[in-house]
Structure 1
Amino acid sequence: MPDFRSDTVTQPTPAMRAAMFDAPLGDDVFGDDPSVNALQEYAAQLLGFEAALFAPSGTQTNLIALWGHCQRGDEAIVGQSWHTYRWEAGGMAVLGSIQPQPVETQPDGTLRITDIAAAIKPDDPHFARTRLVVLENTTGGQVLPPAYVAEVSALARQRGLAMHLDGARMFNAAAANAAKAGTDVYDEARTLCSQFDSASLCLSKGLGAPIGSLVLGSHDFIRQARRTRKILGGGMRQAGVLAAAGRYALEHHVRRMADDHARLAQLAEGLAEANRSHPALKGKITVHPWQTNILFTDLHTDVAPAFTAWLAQHGVRVTSGLYAGQTRLRWVTHLDVSDADIKAALDCVAIFTGG
């Protein structure tokens, strides 16, 4: 059953399960779980930060980081469609007393530099104090160009602001950059992170671990992050069984992300061909540009109900919702989507009758 709903649906591989089973354990709240400590040290060194902290979710690691940069009444500049603003239940405001300042996200996933600059408040008691710029990479599967990230970072430094990366799918961005430049994905990841004071990295999306995220930053930043994690209820005890999965993923599941990108390209090309020539779908599917492992397709209203029902009937699982009056499907490739799954999905599309 091809499951394209999200890269969060992956199951641990047999080798990952073995690493989890064999993991030495301690009590992470006391700081003595060797597997958690090993993951944190490895990730920090891998990505060029001084320290890292393991936590249950990316929502929590983002909030921990935002809280570390901003005090009550401070402001963070975010994208209108950023996960930190739209998809984290308003946590920065509700729990952190941080004012989000959303900026319109452009079609290519960026925020205009001029819009960011205009959103920075002057030093005036009438305004919340702008402290932080948040970027998300990838965003909707789109990669923020390295030169663009460097430009935002230069603006932030000039204005005395910190930079946080919501890097839930950061390694997808690094894999895309590496493929384009002919470089190593780990080198690209370090370069990408070098523009930021802190980063949040999800282990349970494309990396394929069952649970957990990391927040990375300086020693002092992570020392405070540990305290914030406790406040948020994120302290876990024998968490090494989960951390071992994350360490395995960082070591073994990064380079293979290029396979996910290649499979998504094959899926996108097949859907585009259906839009060109399928008797019941011709001119009915808009296939949006893709870069990594996420693809959006829009369905014409006269075919959307029958097509989405057809996919469900044949076990092809996708997420769907209304966007600008049309049904938008999101297709995500990941560790558990094979070449056979791509073929099965396209075969299902090919036999769609439209009735």
Structure 2
Amino acid sequence: MEQRYSRQTLFSPIGTDGQRKLQHAHILIIGAGALGTSTAEMFTRAGAGKITIADRDYVEWSNLQRQQLYTEEDAQNRLPKAIALKEKLEAINQDVRIKAHVTDVTPWNLEELIGGVDLMLDATDNFEIRMIMNDISQKHNIPWIYGAVVGSYGISYTIIPGETSCLHCMMEQVPLGGLTCDTAGIISPIVQLVTAHQGAEALKILTGNRDALRENLVSFDLWSNQHSSIDVQMLKNDNCSSCGTSPSYPFLDYQNQTRTAVLCGRDTVQIRPSSTRKPDLKRTAEDLSPLGEVEQNPFLLSFSTGANRLVLFQDGRVLVHGTSDIAEARSLYHRYFG
């Protein structure tokens, strides 16, 4: 086992003491797409003690271009990403404990997921979840590392509660609109650059080398050969409702949560029901079979009708494929799932 991590422990800032700390660390990765698969593999190979993965989606053909470890078989079977990733990671390093959650991250289940967590890694595709992560980070004093990619552009920033500016300090409200992977596409090399920055910062934190942390927000565009490093510490605001002197954690409030979302890179709307009651997938499949094509595995049910496909997960969420119109998606949801 010492030989397995020998090249990492030979790096003097980590050494055997840092490796020991890493092997007792618990990392929570939110999202199992391009960023999530890369960072999860990185820390599985590095020998982290435990990695918890939370993702709401399943593997599709368009994912294979940039989301490492997934296979054509995963896409054919529409395997939930968290489950597929867990299987691949356990084949790489059986000593790392991998916990997979097929779920849409909310303030309530994130409170449960962070038990014993030393660090959160952002691998999401929307700012609502990032702002929830930001408030959870401040509330429970857990560092997290922001990362985002679109087109050939990437950005990363390390947030340490009580020390750095938080994400809310830098944004008065959750950004709306702008480029997404749906409108601008994405190339694989930018994913690796962002996760390299996230991974290096995470290693510093988990091996006890916080003095080496990068304090600036970094961004880069690989296609136009641009790179910037911005000092955002001046933006830290004592009146910030997330990290200020009297925080209220606004993004953990139910009133601030969106129940529908247009998913990045897909003609798809997610609908998250208010009820937490788990659906009976077998019974639902029987009810829908006369109305269209039904496919089912232990984790989800897929129902195709006309130009639309609706995917029902065990937690009650539904992905409505074939539309980006929320009103149309709601109509289809209520038509087939009440």
TM-score tier, shorter chain, comes to 0.3 to 0.5
Tell me which protein shows more strand as a share of its residues: 2
Considering Cα pairs closer than 8 Å and 6+ residues apart, tell me whether 1 or 2 has the greater RCO.
1
Which structure shows the bigger proportion of residues in helix conformation?
1
TM-score scaled by structure 2?
A: 0.35
